[in-house]
Amino acid sequence: MKISAIRVYQVDLPLVEGRYSWSEGKFVEVFDSTVVELLTDDGNVGYGEVCPLGPFYLPAFGAGARAGIAELAATIIGQDPTAIGPINQLMDRALLGHPYVKSAIDMACWDILGKAANMPICHLLGGRYGEDVVLYRAISQRPAAEMAANVASYRSQGYRRFQLKVGGHANEDIERIRAVREILEAAADVSSEEERQLCRLAELVYFCLEMRFRKIGIAYCVDLQEPAEILAGVLDRSFKTVGVCCRLGTVPQRRDALISPINCNPLAQARFLNQAGTDLNVIVGLCVGADCVFAKESDAPVTTLFVKDKSLANNPIGAVYSEYYLRESAGRSTDDVPGQEDRS
């Protein structure tokens, strides 16, 4: 059995909702699908398809798929379509990368193999693991009320899992998630795609909603009091928040020097929030070391939302991209730390 011809069809798939939107204002109104038909010299036919989600969701686009298939045609014509491994090796040699281009051809080859063997392809791939596959429905980014209405409509059709397209303004994303949660029954399985674009604040809110947390603690550094207050204002729309400053229970400097000054008290912060009965505690700008003490003493799970870095505008990851800060950090030793003795 040899591949004798390849036919390629371009198919427009208009969307029922009219437009499919996600983060950064991106959207598509028609899916550009490519269907491949492989014909063999003994009369077998196999079909495959590749349908990228527009040209800017992943590194793939419809016209590119067709151009790539045209590039590969001369390589695979005359080959045995049931030799799946060799076919893929030939395609990889003829065209580096572009796996989405090759996927439609690979699919069509498996189709022919299944027909030739008179077996379902799932059996050829190792066996059937279930009688069906539970589908989820992607919910296009819309105003909160409209997204909730779409979820209700699809739920009435039998869908039980939903993927919310968020990644816009944090407050708007929070409203979208809240509206959808309110429309769903308690048993609904809601998942939200972060799309590698969802800001950490919105991710935090979604996580708390998913975990059904009610009371959120905020343990903050006095230097970051303003962002901590803004955070509390955002979280108060969905949860009850309890904030506590690092200066709680601190001891000021005294002239007699009998009592050493305590500038921060993460232990007191943790105990305060333990008494408040928080479900989750969020660290905002606690110093290195203080954050360790707080996390160790906290009864509730702890996550860090904002960090403090006075040298890098609260962006500590910037240090790993700076030769200056890397060199400065690598050159440090215990000799540079006041009060450290040589213990070797």
Mean pLDDT of each 10-residue bin along the chain, 344 residues long:
96 88 86 96 96 90 95 96 96 95 96 95 87 85 87 78 86 88 56 56 82 91 93 89 88 53 84 95 94 94 91 83 71 56 47
pLDDT tens-digit map of 193-213: 544 456 788 888 878 887 788
- Do 9 and 77 form a contact (C-beta atoms < 8 A)? no
- Do 38 and 70 form a contact (C-beta atoms < 8 A)? no
- Do 164 and 193 form a contact (C-beta atoms < 8 A)? yes
In this structure, the number of other CB atoms found within 10 A of the CB of residue 275 comes to 10
Distance, in Å, from the CA atom of 180 to the CA atom of 112, rounded to the nearest integer, reads 43
Residue-level pLDDT at 195: 44
Distance, in Å, from the CA atom of 169 to the CA atom of 234, rounded to the nearest integer, reads 12
Question: C-alpha angle with apex 302: 301 to 307, nearest 5 degrees?
Answer: 175
Q: What is the pTM of this model?
A: 0.54
**HSE of 180 in the Cβ direction (CA atoms, 13 Å)?**
33
| Residue 289: partners with Cβ closer than 8 Å, 6 or more residues away | none
- Do 189 and 246 form a contact (C-beta atoms < 8 A)? no
- Do 316 and 309 form a contact (C-beta atoms < 8 A)? yes
Helices (H), 34-169: 62-76, 84-94, 99-117, 121-124, 144-156
Indicate the length of the chain as a whole number.
344
Beta-sheet pairing, 215-220 with 280-284: parallel
Residue-level pLDDT at 187: 33
Residue-level pLDDT at 26: 86
CATH code for the domain defined by 3-124: 3.30.390.10
% of residues, the chain, pLDDT over 90: 50
Residue-level pLDDT at 185: 53
Distance, in Å, from the CA atom of 243 to the CA atom of 322, rounded to the nearest integer, reads 34
Distance, in Å, from the CA atom of 139 to the CA atom of 89, rounded to the nearest integer, reads 38
Which whole-number Å values give the CA distances from 53 to 20, 50, 60, 136, 212, in the listed order? 9, 10, 8, 16, 33
| Residue 104: partners with Cβ closer than 8 Å, 6 or more residues away | 34, 35, 36, 48, 49, 50, 65, 69
Residue 259, sorted as left (phi over 0), alpha (psi -120 to 50) or beta, turns out to be: beta
- Do 166 and 193 form a contact (C-beta atoms < 8 A)? yes
Backbone angles phi, psi at 306, to 5 degrees: -120, 145
Across-strand partners of 13? 31
Tell me: domain 214-308, CATH 2.60.40.1190, correct?
A: no
Residue-level pLDDT at 190: 45
| Residue 178: partners with Cβ closer than 8 Å, 6 or more residues away | 144, 209, 237, 238
Residue-level pLDDT at 194: 45
